[in-house]
Amino acid sequence: MNRQRKKSFSKKRSNVLLILFIANAISLFLMSKFISHISFEKSSALLITAAVLTLLQKVVEPILRFFAFPVTVLTLGLFSLVISAFVLYLAFKFVEGAYIDSHLFSLVIASIVLSIVSSIVLNVIS
């Protein structure tokens, strides 16, 4: 019985990563079509960026949020936008062929749009 729970837990976890990857890929595709500051040379660059972004959102972003908690409280949550923008910037820097304007304002706007589009896609998918 205990093994079944572990298997179902790992299956749910992989499903969540797959759904988040699909949502990120669709969101990045839509953002590249409508925002001039984001572009991809190839579709493979888009998919790799979505994979890297998914991993960074699940691994790095929670660590950054933990350490930045006092600053986030002092700014009434606005520093969360900077953290999300930084994670998005990292994802684009790791992938060759993926380009984003590196100004803080554009990154924050892109991370807000990514968050909104991803949440809409996640609601449609699941």
* pLDDT tens digit at each of 126 positions of the chain: 555 555 555 556 668 888 899 999 999 999 999 888 899 999 999 999 999 999 999 999 999 999 999 999 999 999 999 999 999 999 999 999 999 988 888 888 889 988 998 888 888 877
Q: What is the pTM of this model?
A: 0.85
**Cα–Cα distance for residue pair 14/80, rounded to 1 Å:** 26
